[in-house]
Amino acid sequence: MNRILKALLIVLIIFIAGCYYDNEEKLYSEISTSCDLNNVTFAATVKPILQASCFACHSNSTATSSGNGIRLENYTDVQNFAKNGILMGVVKHSSGYLPMPDGGGKLSDCEINQLQKWIDNGTLNN
């Protein structure tokens, strides 16, 4: 009887374990695999990226003391660095450019692609 009970218990465990199903989207909902390149604007996309990754040194109030005078808070300032290629050179960590953020890791591929999309679309103030 003891052997039958053990065998039944093993079969039951295998059956329950075999029916387990995880939904990856539910398990890892905080990890987004999509990158929106269709609605890239300065106000909604570019400025938030810069605020999160660059303003510690390059806001209007910190640029003189810690950002080598480079300001990235205003559209015109950002546009100038974008149009001359410096913005993408530093965020892509390209040869010949000082990699930014300074002392930090590279921006995500999505953020870099969004910045590039904004530049490709004409660096509009939108």
**Side chain identity at 121, as an amino acid letter?**
N
User: In this predicted model, what pLDDT tens digit does every residue of 49-60 receive, in sequence order?
Assistant: 999 999 999 999
Percent residues over pLDDT 70 in the chain: 76
83 touches 123 (CB < 8 A): yes
Instruction: Report DSSP state, residue 42.
Output: I
d(CA 69, CA 54) in angstroms, rounded, equals 13
At 24 the pLDDT is 44
Residue located via tokens 């995500």: 108
Rounded mean pLDDT, 56-72: 92
d(CA 55, CA 33) in angstroms, rounded, equals 26
Q: How confident is the model at residue 2 (pLDDT cuts 50, 70, 90)?
A: confident
Q: What is the pTM of this model?
A: 0.72
User: In this predicted model, what pLDDT tens digit does every residue of 80-112 receive, in sequence order?
Assistant: 999 999 999 999 999 999 999 988 889 999 999
